[in-house]
Amino acid sequence: MSATQIWAMTASEIASGIRSGLFSASEAIDAQLARMDAADPQINAVVEDCGDEAREAARRLDAQLARGEDPGPLCGVPVTIKVNVDQHGFATTNGIRAQASLVASQDSPVVSNIRKAGGVIVGRTNTPAFSLRWFTRNALHGQTLNPHDAAITPGGSSGGAAAAVAAGLCAIGHGTDIAGSIRYPAYACGVHGLRPSFGRVPAYNASGPDRHIGAQLMAVSGPIARCMADLDLSLAAMSAGDSRDPWWVPSPLNGGEFRRRAALSIAPDGMSVSREVEAALFQAADMLRASGWTVEEAEAPPMRRAAEVNARLWMAETQFGAGDMIAREADADASFVFDQMSRDAGEVGFDTLMKTLQARVGLVREWEAYFETYSLLLCPTSAEPPFPQQLDVASEQDFARVFEAQLTQRAIPAIGVPALSVALGHSTKGPIGVQLVAARFREDILLAAGRDLEAMAGLPPLALMG
């Protein structure tokens, strides 16, 4: 078995190959680290190498297997971790110089769960400063490039994770999402990304203070991968319970039978959608119909009001807890984006915060009622194909264009429902795909529909540089 064949495999194939004795965990990790050494210098996706730790973990896994023990469902799978969550012995930088020495004394729950499931962490991936953008550049770690096309964004804030998966630097990339930071990078890099339900994957960073109510309700961790089986595998691993997160919910991963009835919303709440995005949505609808789904064109639940809730909760947190830190960091990109987002949300004082939380409850009720009629919502991931690099900081007008195109990215976290970004191939302007949304804790419906699309579209291709 050649090293090239191993690093190009899916997570499920790697775990199966190690468990069956086709190759060892050490061979798989050596192959993965060699691929990182060859390809990452061209894209700067993995900004911290965990090679020594990974090789030791692989040796332990091989010893377990030799004793007849099962290391877990991720048996030897190479995984990357985003630099905004705690990993013991590494700095939780969040892309900022002020946290370059903020070394974690313990793993966050999601990292702990990945290890318990037998996953091997091979590196830590880049994010924009403060994880604040749909692009990935900061003064500490530099800029991440899209492995398919350096002229377009790899997305953000989990741009490093998605670029790493697309380039074959890992089989599974860990990401976080408060306004599209898993779904959009997956879209931009031509892979799949799952934003789980709020409460599905436990979260906690001991390296810093607990976050305020906006992030508590909206920020989640989830997987980025090249196939639905890998998302299923990694979600099961990441979502194990942890007492450190009081918001974690012990909901089953299989929610039972559901009607194969989907709503197709081409332009939610009046979004202006490009021809490429519209074509992808109609293609996905036809694929679902061919797979036995009933798909009807219907308006989506409220997106703009949900996006307003997201903006106010997020900016209330940022204005209250991070505004001074953003000023001190003096990252030009983050400062510009923060100013634009603050202008959109307005000053979020106590009255506004309380009214926003009140409005959120009504919106959640509307969305839950919607999913009593439709099991699935098919809608744009973004209104446009992936943007040119750094478009959002080119001018105020360009930021407004990006912000509007990301309406569905911003809306869904405010509701707490799961969403799946599905890659369908490439347009003339870069990777293209669609977004699937379902009721809370029904990731199983998303993955079922995703498998139907995957069966017809095939696996996303790796970007074979290096």
Active site residues per annotation: 82, 157, 181
Gap between the Cα atoms of 104 and 88, Å rounded: 5
Q: What percent of the chain is helix, strand and coil (3-state, nearest 5)?
A: 45, 15, 40
What values do phi and psi take at 221, rounded to 5? -100, 150
**Partner residues linked to 426 by β-bridges:** 431
Gap between the Cα atoms of 293 and 275, Å rounded: 24
Gap between the Cα atoms of 377 and 172, Å rounded: 25
Output the six-digit token pair for 177: 């999402």
* Cα four-point dihedral sign 431, 437, 443, 449: negative
Compute the radius of gyration of the chain from its Cα atoms: 20
Decide if 415 contacts 367 (C-beta within 8 A): yes
The angle subtended at Cα 417 by Cα 401 and Cα 426, nearest 5°, is: 50
Output the six-digit token pair for 400: 């407004």
Determine whether 66 is exposed, middle or buried from the number of CB atoms within 10 Å of its CB (0-12, 13-18, 19+): exposed
**Partner residues linked to 295 by β-bridges:** 262
- DSSP assignment of 128-141, as one string? -GGG-SSS-EETTT
Inter-axis angle of helices 11-20 and 228-238, nearest 10: 80
Output the six-digit token pair for 310: 């997201």
CB neighbour list of residue 344: distance below 8 Å, 6 or more residues apart: 311, 403
Instruction: Find the helix or strand (DSSP H, E) in which 35 lies.
Output: helix 25-43
Lookup result for tokens 């998605």: 162
Lookup result for tokens 């830590």: 124
Decide if 124 contacts 87 (C-beta within 8 A): yes
